[in-house]
Structure 1
Amino acid sequence: TALGDLLGVYEASRSVHSCMAGPAPGGGGLALLIPPAVEAPFIRREGLFHHLQQALSIDPAFCGHPDAQALLASVQRGRALAAGSEGVVPGKAWQGRPGLSTLFGSVPVSDGIDPALLDRLEGLVQQAARGFTPTGHARVDEKMDSLLGVLRTSPAWKAPDSTYFTVLLEYFLRFLHDRFDGQADLYGDRTAYLGPAPNKSDGSAGMWPEKAVQDDIHQHLSGLMTPGTIQREIIDVASGRTDVTYTPEPGRRLVIEVKRRKTKAERNAVERDYLAQAANYTVTGPPFGILLVGDHSSHAAGYSDFDDRVWITRYARSTTEVPRLIVVGVLPIGRPTPSALRMPTS
């Protein structure tokens, strides 16, 4: 009954209207439905076995047929042997492991396999399916999924460029998420720019330089990427000098442009002022880049959340150019502690 119900749902959801069949008998303009072939091996196997049993029970054309009887006996012997195999149950090892179940759900597996190994394999399968290693932070993983969904629409999203940029994007998002949570003393002087800047010598309010943000993202990536692949201040790139450059192999270059903004870093203002420069660094490489903006405006009323401060935008300078896809991340810097925030005046 369950198989029949599942098959009915499958046929109803996957059937297509026939333009060739014409109206159904009796009028009404309803086209005939064409049910597709069921591709799932499990449903096909169990369905055929069920039909064979039914045919041998009620269909006169099959009841006394020697080939049908021999087929049933052979199938029953095979099922009995499989059921009687000690410690081997088809699909049991895949329970709770959807990735492995999709690949090997109908394959008998011994219960003696180390569950830790199966869990590791499940993680690798899910990682391959998603294209990145889940961080365990739901917001980061959801944002990564949504950005990759946009990146995959580019005709240039092909390996190895797509693989390299995915790795860079993953570590960039982890950096942003960590710094959104981090206090100014998280890593000592390295992350001091997250908090209030020291006053100038004349007593006026100070400002953190752009270099503070550059230094932090550079050190963060240098400790994660292959040694020597992360550089900064590379000259003669699109007639300029890049802030942070990832060169996973000769001839392949991905760039992170870093900016510090004194006024509120709203989306339209960020794109208007910095997007063209960030995109220009991609003119001789893959059409993918990252723009990191340190928002040094007043945060007295707080600032929007991590998800709101990361987005992806397209930029093309001509109708024939493959659009540049630039991931933008805005990081609040020079911010007060939560206890010092106040409600905005109405």
Structure 2
Amino acid sequence: MVALGELDRLLLASTDEPPSLADLVRRLTKPAAAEIERCAAGPLAPLLCAAVTRQLAGPDEVTALLRGLSAQTSALALLDATDELLASASFVEPYGISLHRAFLAGVPTARPLVAAAIAEGALRLALGGHGDVLRTVIMLTPNDLGELDTDYLDRMPRLLGAALDMWGTERSVSESLLSTLADLLADPATSADAAFEIGLHQVRVAATAGTEDPAAQLVAARRNFAHAEAAEESSGDAALYGAGIDAVMAFRRGDQLALRAADQAIRRHLDRRADGLHRAHVPAWRRPRAEAGFAWARLVAILGRALDAATRPAWLDAWPMIDALADAYVLDRAVIPVPGSVDPDGLSRIVRPVVGSSLRGRETLIVQLRVAAEDDGGRVHRLRELVQNLDTVPEPPPDGNGARVVTLAPSVVAELGLPAAERLAHRLDDDSLQLVEGLAYNALVQRGNLRDPVIAGILERVTARLQPCADYIGSVRQSFDAVVADAVAFMATRQDLQRSAAVDYLFPALTPPREARLQDDFADWLRRGPLAGHVDVEVPNVATGRADIKVGFGATRFFIEVKRELRNNSPAAMERSYLAQAADYSGTSAALGMLLVLDLTPHPAGAPHLSECVWVAVHRPPGAAVDRYLLVGRIIGNRPRPSAYSRSASHRTGP
């Protein structure tokens, strides 16, 4: 703790507004620079900064102030001091860049919470144009997140998101920020907040002019918001943005009930947010996010009126209906429900095809639109593009069902992949395809709400890797997805020894356990879950051997091979040793299977992350033409308790 000095006592003695620094310095009997540095490093730093901003200090005093702030040990004192300095334009203009440099120099050496406060200050200065953007981005995107303290990591997603608000459209900057967020997404402690920030960026991309497929961006964002909503930390904002996307997608499908439900959800979330904002202080630099959320309510109101106008058989009062359609067709700049540099054309391109297709062919209403467009009123320019669009016969998509399914059913594409979605679209008319789109979208959101973000990220990566498999479609895909989801949940539980304390084969033992222990445990897990009744063990006469575990769905069978590894736990080594055998069992059913390996190699410095223990491997036997796709899971055994790592480290270093 920093001892109080003469300057501290003078500040405490000031009962009214803090005097100017010049007044305080005149009353000092000790050297001013030393007293300023001492005070800036202590608990009264906010009062000192208020005194500094009352009357512009000189360069020597500011230099001492910056040295002291760099040595600050209280995150709260530093945040309050930063607020005082950054609220003063007379200070920021001449000294903002110097303060930014001091902040950047202090991040690596400070305590975790203080380092986070320093990083926030540096980011705020850069966002305001008083700091080097590139150096700020480098600070926010360290090479090895594993070396950082969890207290610092917890605050990183919010800072990265704020940076994306400002620089998200600059590719050279956004790629680094998004890459770091992707790394944080794999960490259970930060995954929910990282999922929210990635989702927010995807909404921003959808609302940016020139985005090739804004609907697909919204579907991807909705999945991330669903993952974030499952966690308490960011559930309010994630739920609000998720409901906003629900409204846009319901409008695309012409689903009045879903649009109305989304409208009610948005109003409910906005009421909760307003109540929370009244009771909590929101810094000025974060208010654009709070204000942007209310644009969702305006957007949904426009979509609700437009969908009602588009589906009515006749218009008794033409102008209100025309206004509703024109508002939806040409969204104004007030309807941008994300902070950052975006353009409403991205969202209006999602809405325009719905308006045009619902009106095309309804001659009476089109005549009303033409008459209105010839009027001399102030709304003419809002109608001309709409009328011209309706008068133009739409050209057939250049690639048939591919463009059609991407336009009408982006959730189906996300769920099935483009080849399978094209085959489905070929069999359905537009109304039926949109009905299937609604089912796929709702299923996507529901699954996202039920899954931990880390597990959800693994499953999304796995399903994307399985897309090229010709058998991974229809009921086969649904069945294999169920097996994969249960397997990943099992691996996550066995990765956490606190939830698997009774599973002895995970702990170090004099005699390494056999793979049969993992086989029995996993089979028992499957029998206790949704796959009960579908599981057999030690199944004979599969290929030319005996399969460890079979999960059967009628004629479709998936085989799971279980092994143990004592020497080399690298993915490449395990695939060389066991993949051919595991793949051979899938020679007469779907070309899909699973390999589980009990990793009994030493783990003296800790276990790998769950996301590193699950992947998809592809194997093609010599002379064959069909690839086999196998989910590979590594179960980490032979693990000491985490406290053992600290003890062994202390023994190594000695006194």
TM-score (norm 2): 0.35
Match of 1:194 in 2: 506
The correspondence for 1:41, drawn from 323, 332, 355, is: 355
Q: CA contact under 8 A between 2:329 and 2:348: conserved in structure 1? A: no
**Measured at CA, do residues 339 and 220 of structure 1 come closer, stay the same or move farther in structure 2, by a change above 3 Å?**
same
**Measured at CA, do residues 319 and 13 of structure 1 come closer, stay the same or move farther in structure 2, by a change above 3 Å?**
farther
Q: Unaligned 5+ residue runs, structure 2? A: 1-326, 333-342, 360-364, 379-410, 412-437
Q: CA contact under 8 A between 2:328 and 2:348: conserved in structure 1? A: no
Match of 2:584 in 1: 280
**Measured at CA, do residues 271 and 226 of structure 1 come closer, stay the same or move farther in structure 2, by a change above 3 Å?**
closer
**2-side partners of 1:176 and 1:331: how far apart?**
6
Larger deviation: 291-300 or 205-214?
A: 205-214
**Measured at CA, do residues 165 and 339 of structure 1 come closer, stay the same or move farther in structure 2, by a change above 3 Å?**
same
Query: 1:211, CA displacement in angstroms?
Result: 1.0
The correspondence for 2:497, drawn from 158, 162, 182, is: 182
Q: CA contact under 8 A between 1:242 and 1:255: conserved in structure 2? A: yes
Matched, 1:164 2:490: no
Match of 2:535 in 1: 230
**1-side partners of 2:444 and 2:623: how far apart?**
33
**Measured at CA, do residues 185 and 276 of structure 1 come closer, stay the same or move farther in structure 2, by a change above 3 Å?**
closer
**Measured at CA, do residues 12 and 127 of structure 1 come closer, stay the same or move farther in structure 2, by a change above 3 Å?**
closer
Deviation string, structure 1 residues 318-339 (Cα, Å, up to 9, x no partner): 5652211111111111210001
Matched, 1:304 2:638: no
**Measured at CA, do residues 215 and 134 of structure 1 come closer, stay the same or move farther in structure 2, by a change above 3 Å?**
farther
Matched, 1:53 2:358: no
**Measured at CA, do residues 244 and 327 of structure 1 come closer, stay the same or move farther in structure 2, by a change above 3 Å?**
same
**Measured at CA, do residues 331 and 149 of structure 1 come closer, stay the same or move farther in structure 2, by a change above 3 Å?**
same
**1-side partners of 2:445 and 2:561: how far apart?**
27
Letter in 1 for 2:633: G
Letter in 1 for 2:354: A
Q: CA contact under 8 A between 1:230 and 1:245: conserved in structure 2? A: yes
Query: 1:150, CA displacement in angstroms?
Result: 1.8
Match of 1:139 in 2: 454
Deviation string, structure 1 residues 167-221 (Cα, Å, up to 9, x no partner): 00010000001111134853x3xx1111122xxxxxxx22111111111101000
Deviation string, structure 1 residues 218-246 (Cα, Å, up to 9, x no partner): 10001114443101100110101111110
SS at match of 2:559: strand
Q: CA contact under 8 A between 1:260 and 1:293: conserved in structure 2? A: yes
**Measured at CA, do residues 40 and 319 of structure 1 come closer, stay the same or move farther in structure 2, by a change above 3 Å?**
farther
**2-side partners of 1:10 and 1:52: how far apart?**
29
Matched, 1:270 2:574: yes
Query: 1:130, CA displacement in angstroms?
Result: 7.2
Match of 1:104 in 2: none
Q: CA contact under 8 A between 2:607 and 2:639: conserved in structure 1? A: no
Query: 1:39, CA displacement in angstroms?
Result: 1.7
Query: 1:299, CA displacement in angstroms?
Result: 1.0
Deviation string, structure 1 residues 97-117 (Cα, Å, up to 9, x no partner): xx9xxxxxxxxxxxxxxxxxx
**1-side partners of 2:330 and 2:499: how far apart?**
61
Q: CA contact under 8 A between 1:194 and 1:335: conserved in structure 2? A: yes
**Measured at CA, do residues 134 and 143 of structure 1 come closer, stay the same or move farther in structure 2, by a change above 3 Å?**
farther
SS at match of 2:550: strand
TM-score (norm 1): 0.63
SS at match of 2:632: strand
**2-side partners of 1:130 and 1:281: how far apart?**
35
**Measured at CA, do residues 132 and 184 of structure 1 come closer, stay the same or move farther in structure 2, by a change above 3 Å?**
closer
Query: 1:146, CA displacement in angstroms?
Result: 1.3
**1-side partners of 2:531 and 2:580: how far apart?**
29
Letter in 2 for 1:57: D
Q: How does 1:1-346 map to 2 (within 5 A)?
A: 3-4=329-330, 9=345, 38-41=352-355, 53-57=372-376, 126=441, 128-129=443-444, 135-183=450-498, 186=501, 188=502, 191-197=503-509, 205-249=510-554, 251-318=555-622, 321-341=625-645
Match of 1:63 in 2: none
**2-side partners of 1:294 and 1:222: how far apart?**
20
SS at match of 1:212: helix
**1-side partners of 2:543 and 2:374: how far apart?**
74
Q: CA contact under 8 A between 2:494 and 2:500: conserved in structure 1? A: no
Deviation string, structure 1 residues 39-88 (Cα, Å, up to 9, x no partner): 2238976x9787753423369xxxxxxxxxxxxxxxxxxxxxxxxxxxxx
Seq. identity, %:
25
**Measured at CA, do residues 185 and 227 of structure 1 come closer, stay the same or move farther in structure 2, by a change above 3 Å?**
closer
Letter in 2 for 1:332: I
Larger deviation: 124-133 or 273-282?
A: 124-133
Query: 1:11, CA displacement in angstroms?
Result: 11
Q: CA contact under 8 A between 1:260 and 1:296: conserved in structure 2? A: yes
**1-side partners of 2:500 and 2:520: how far apart?**
15
Query: 1:162, CA displacement in angstroms?
Result: 1.0
Larger RCO: 1 or 2 (CA < 8 Å, sep 6+): 1
SS at match of 1:57: coil
Deviation string, structure 1 residues 231-278 (Cα, Å, up to 9, x no partner): 1100110101111110122x2210111111111310110110011011
Letter in 1 for 2:547: T
**Measured at CA, do residues 42 and 224 of structure 1 come closer, stay the same or move farther in structure 2, by a change above 3 Å?**
farther
Q: Which has the higher strand share?
A: 1
Letter in 2 for 1:338: P
Q: CA contact under 8 A between 1:245 and 1:256: conserved in structure 2? A: yes
**1-side partners of 2:348 and 2:447: how far apart?**
35
Q: Please report the RMSD computed on the Cα atoms of aligned residues, expressed in angstroms.
A: 3.7
Q: CA contact under 8 A between 1:265 and 1:295: conserved in structure 2? A: yes
Deviation string, structure 1 residues 100-158 (Cα, Å, up to 9, x no partner): xxxxxxxxxxxxxxxxxxxxxxx975463479675421010111111111212222222
Letter in 2 for 1:148: T
**Measured at CA, do residues 156 and 213 of structure 1 come closer, stay the same or move farther in structure 2, by a change above 3 Å?**
same
Letter in 2 for 1:56: D
Q: CA contact under 8 A between 2:566 and 2:600: conserved in structure 1? A: yes
Q: CA contact under 8 A between 2:607 and 2:636: conserved in structure 1? A: yes
**Measured at CA, do residues 56 and 185 of structure 1 come closer, stay the same or move farther in structure 2, by a change above 3 Å?**
closer
